[in-house]
Amino acid sequence: MRHTTTTLALLGLVVGAVGCNQPTVGHFGDGAYYHTRGHYRIRYAGDDPELLPPTRWRLTNYGRDEETGQPTHAEPGHYGYSRYDVAWLTGQPRLSRHSFSVPTVDLHYAAREGSGEIWVRTMVLPTAWRNASAGEALHGALQAVGNTQLPLDPLGHRFAPSSTRITSYGPATIDERQGHYTELEVEGAGGDTQRVTLVALRPGGHEYRWHRRHHFPMMVVFGCASAPGDHARVRADLERLVRRVDIRR
């Protein structure tokens, strides 16, 4: 009995120590940001992780090493986690007791000056959407804008809009793959308007593995939002970032 207790204590110690090292979203490697699920990376503009977007942007969802100042570990912070109900994703009521959470944003940047934010989000999609194109999935997900009950809001639940309008949309090509872009105008309850650009991509061949028998399709959304007057500059920085995205073959 004593040996069993000692063995279990050692095992717990090891598992605990190992668990502390598991990245939850992604990491800043040598030359690129890599998502933990391995479906995409974003190369730095130079050798510095600070140059993922230009230095006028501040990374907000990562903690930093106290000595080097380099981003080290994800801190979802107030963006939190999106909770996915497995029964809802699969359409199988027998799985109603199961759910899992995914950080709402992979990366989030705020403008150091002026308005604006840039984010990257990996969303888990219902299995019924497995064959949907990026455009179909993005427009379907836009139905969840501002609805905190649904985890699919491509804006990451950052807005509680009184009205949302699509101003333009169309196909986009990201890393030689067919994607989709959509522009929105989101009006808040206080009457302030934000202009939003979303670029969506389905990382075909990569699925979110929740269980060995349950894999879910994913969609990556690159987005930016700002006041209308700042949006051309913000969107240009988003474009520079998305141009350096590689999808793993």
Partner 1 sequence: MSPRRITAGLLCAAAALASSPAQAQEWVEEATAEPADLRPEAAPAEGVATDLVPPAPSEEPPQLAPPPSDDFESAARALTAGQPTTPRAGGPWTLDDGVTTEDVPWDDFDPRGDFYPRGGVHWGLELRAGAIPTTSLSTQERPQFELGGFVDLRYSSHSPWRMRIGLAVSAEPYRETNLGGGAFVSSSVTAIKLRVLPLSVDVGHNFGFLVGPEIGIQIAPGPIEPRVLFYSGGTLQLVGRTDDGRLEIGAYVSMVMTGVSRLERANFGVGTRRSEHFEIDAVLGVSGGYLF
**φ, ψ (nearest 5 deg) of residue 150:** -110, 135
Does position 136 interact with partner 1 (CB under 8 A)? The reply is yes
Q: Which of 167, 193, 209, 211 binds partner 1 (CB under 8 A)?
A: 167
| E strand or H helix at 16 | helix 2-19
Question: Would you state the structure tokens that stand for residue 11, as one six-digit string?
Answer: 């095992």
Does position 193 interact with partner 1 (CB under 8 A)? The reply is no
Q: Which of 58, 75, 87, 98 binds partner 1 (CB under 8 A)?
A: 87
Stretch that binds partner 1, among 50-58, 114-122, 181-189, 205-213 (CB under 8 A): 181-189
Rounded to whole angstroms, how far apart are CA atoms 151 and 220?
14
Does position 47 interact with partner 1 (CB under 8 A)? The reply is no
Stretch that binds partner 1, among 16-24, 103-111, 114-122, 212-220 (CB under 8 A): 16-24
Instruction: State in angstroms the smallest separation of the CB of 147 from partner 1.
Output: 4
Does position 109 interact with partner 1 (CB under 8 A)? The reply is no
**φ, ψ (nearest 5 deg) of residue 37:** -75, -10
* Own/partner pairs, 172-176, CB within 8 angstroms, 24+ separation: 172/199, 174/199, 174/201, 174/242, 174/245, 174/247, 175/201, 175/245, 175/246, 175/247
Does position 46 interact with partner 1 (CB under 8 A)? The reply is no
Instruction: State in angstroms the smallest separation of the CB of 143 from partner 1.
Output: 4
